[in-house]
Structure 1
Amino acid sequence: MNLSEIRKNLHQIPELGFEEFKTQKFILSILKQFPQLKIHTFPFTGIVAEYSVGKGDYKLIRADMDALPIEEETDCDFRSQHPGKMHACGHDVHMTILLGLIEKVIQADLQQNILFVFQPAEEGKGGAKKMLETGFFDSFSISEAFALHVSGSLPLGTISSKAGIFFANTEEVDVIFKGKSAHVAFPETGKDALKAGIDFLRIVEENLQKNFTIPDTIRCVFGKMEAGTVRNAIPADCKLEGTIRAFFDDDLRKIKEILEFSGKEIAEKNGVQTKIKYLSYYKAVKNEKTLYQKLKSVCRKLNLKFEEAEAVFTGEDFGYFSEKYPGLLFWLGANQGEKQDLHSSSFLPDEKAIPIGVDVFFKLIKSE
């Protein structure tokens, strides 16, 4: 297979979570070339390619499929053909690596049971959780689960990971205040929802500072605030949209407690109503120590540079797999000489990272 062309084709058809119809069709067209695989599909866009060679445990390797609602601003000749959508997180590379791995496993006639998982909707819509909730994987004895993520900040071919908690628990949250509108000339007849929102932000920050060492242990950030309709009226509604992140489950629960009692206190103080809604949730990614050690050994054998990673507040729903099975996620360096951020409109991982990712995965699933 021409992995470079496959990556370019995938890059041109980015689709959002659970809308990866063209992507699914393209991947299936490639998988059907391999009679050694048993292909499983779902009522949504996920795919599992089963490679069974007899009795024994299975190893699971996962690649995410979805893109982001971003207008691409790269100058490559294989830019997105879908306006307002882009593979700005490298999932096109992830899928290409998994397809390359499938080909290598089959060519080597590897005597190891494997599940190759193409997972939709990693970007906030719970694709991993939905795949696991189907019960499909419960009929397999899965001993190890692997995933990688390209990095625009690491040099090409550098591998980085850590044992234990690697990516944080992350959850999106909306806080809504409802008051009563009034003309600014008669504010006493209204209930100011915007003021409640501002007071809420202040008291939440004070309570977080009392309970946590910030920014080392948690994140609680509200990046968007909407209120009111005109400049000369007291706002009846205020909505804050934010994200909460923590490495440990107890800390995440504590943040939620702070949001709840802060919201109640501010609502009573301002005479308004409040509602807190929790949205998409990523389970923390925890790397099995033995698999982490195996990764370091593989890097030595392949003469690849390995860097000890730090735990990050990034969200990754591979955490649902690493919660259920011994798991390992690692960074694969793919910058092209200039550091690039994930989710950037100019993010374009170097395709030379693709065969490196294939080789690392192959060694991981081959070694005992």
Structure 2
Amino acid sequence: MSEIVVAGIGAVSPAGWGVPALREALARGEPLPPARLARPGWDVPLRARQVPPPQPRPSFLAHPRLRRTSPVAHFAVGAALEALGADAAQGSPGSRRLGIILCVMTGCVVYSRRFYDEVWKDPAIASPLVFPETVFNSPASHLAALLDTPAINYTLVGDPGTFLQGLALAADWLASGRVEGCLVVGAEEGDWLLADAFRHFARSVILGEGAGAVYLRRERGSESAVRLDAITSPQLFLPSQPRTQAAQRMRAELNACAPDDLLVEGTQDSPRFDAAELAAWRDWTGPRVAPKRIVGEGLSAASAWQCVLAIDALQQGRARAATVSVVGCNQQAIGARFRI
């Protein structure tokens, strides 16, 4: 993967719109206050960390494809355009070979809940305009239309580790010449339905929403470019391989890490979800950050934020290499390494 370089990064998070807002929130080290979400039929609200409204309102939200879309599409497009930078305007319409890989776990839950709520109450008046926004690949379709790219476009559905699988797939597309550049986006949106669902498994988990994007290209570029150095095999959670063992095997594939590498981990102050990852990295003595502790459990967006922060640290000169560790909710442990 030595020729796969990071051409740009983008983020939308509870800290705000843009990578600088996420970076500053991590630098402060204080968990962002959660919002209160009203749950129908309950007096006590649920908690979640939500993305604040953008100031000023981005012009892309006026695009015809985005006027009736759910928040997850807005987040995905916002992060993707930041990652693309000036490349967003390059190339003639319909001719660019820009691949798109969207990674989600829950997807368009806001409009899905709204649609089925309308069907349940009165099928005769359930809005057909809402239904297209309930499918998993809706945000990726909107993003491709906005960028006017007819190139290959995938949506991967899985736990947070799926974002790293998306990076591996993008590297394969670039190496085989299927695309000239590839956007990998992890995005999720919050809703009381999700907050209630996670409450049944771990009440200490506070969900977050937003998106992260990594723009990859195949180049023999400058020595200062950040490169995708390695992605481990996905270590699946199986009866024969529990979470702890899967996390340890993921770590074993990253044993080439130097003591001064930055570790960007996925822990979030939840004993149930953190135990396997903490055990796998218990002997790590180098610097480490845990963005979920600050901005919340963003699922696919959270692993994207981890990668964005790892790359940003290298671009800012705070490290020469960075390792991302993801021990997912219910599927896999997987890791990645970026280097200058």
TM-score (norm 1): 0.26
Q: Return the structure number with greater strand share.
A: 1
TM-score (norm 2): 0.27
